[in-house]
Amino acid sequence: MTSLDARTVGGLLREYAQRTALRGGNPYRAKAYSRAADSLGALVVPLDAVIAEGRLTEIPGVGDAIADIVTKLHQTGTHPSLEKLRKEIPEGVLEMLAVPGLRPEKVLRLYKDLGIGSLAELEAAAKEDRIKKAKGLGAALQTKILQNLAIAAKKASTCTLPPLCLRRRRIRSERPIPS
């Protein structure tokens, strides 16, 4: 496998952070992975060069432990700990983190206590009043979930010009006017 660029590694590290937060462990560790992912996303020099020069720990938020993870992700596209977390926490559970107001602790409770593993299951559970009946979750959370899912659906349905149309317009506007 070819080595991954900084942005891709940053995305994998962000996934690692989200899954770590959902696992219910040390919240500071998940935040550290997130900070490092942000720094990798902003990196302007090739990640290959930074690793080859041994300067990975000079990146803000990247210490020795995270540098080892970044190197492994860069070289192989995965990490044993990430694969283990992927087996523990389904992809759909990560999607629920995108719902405003749903913190990792609540998402984990929804998954473990109610077996909710996707946005579709979350919406169905909220509409069926299963969330408000669960101890520690309640009616307020259920209402907030339904409101935020409705807002997200409305945003998704209101589509502006696709990027290709915008690009075409820009190109046309940059063409010289024929004389």
Burial 97-135 (b: 16+ CB within 10 A, else e): eebeebebebbbbbbeebebbbbebbbebbeeebbbebe
The top-level CATH class assigned to 6-88 is mainly alpha
Residue 46, by phi and psi: left (phi above 0), alpha (psi -120 to 50) or beta?
beta
Residue-wise pLDDT tens digits, 48-84: 999 999 999 999 999 999 999 999 999 999 999 999 9
Type of residue numbered 135? K
What confidence score (pLDDT) does residue 154 get? Answer: 74
Please give the structure tokens belonging to residue 82.
């990430």
Low-confidence ranges of the chain (pLDDT < 70): 1, 156-179
- The CATH number corresponding to 91-157 among 1.10.150.20, 3.40.50.300, 1.20.1090.10, 3.10.20.30 equals 1.10.150.20
What confidence score (pLDDT) does residue 179 get? Answer: 45
Q: Are 109 and 136 in contact (CB under 8 A)?
A: yes
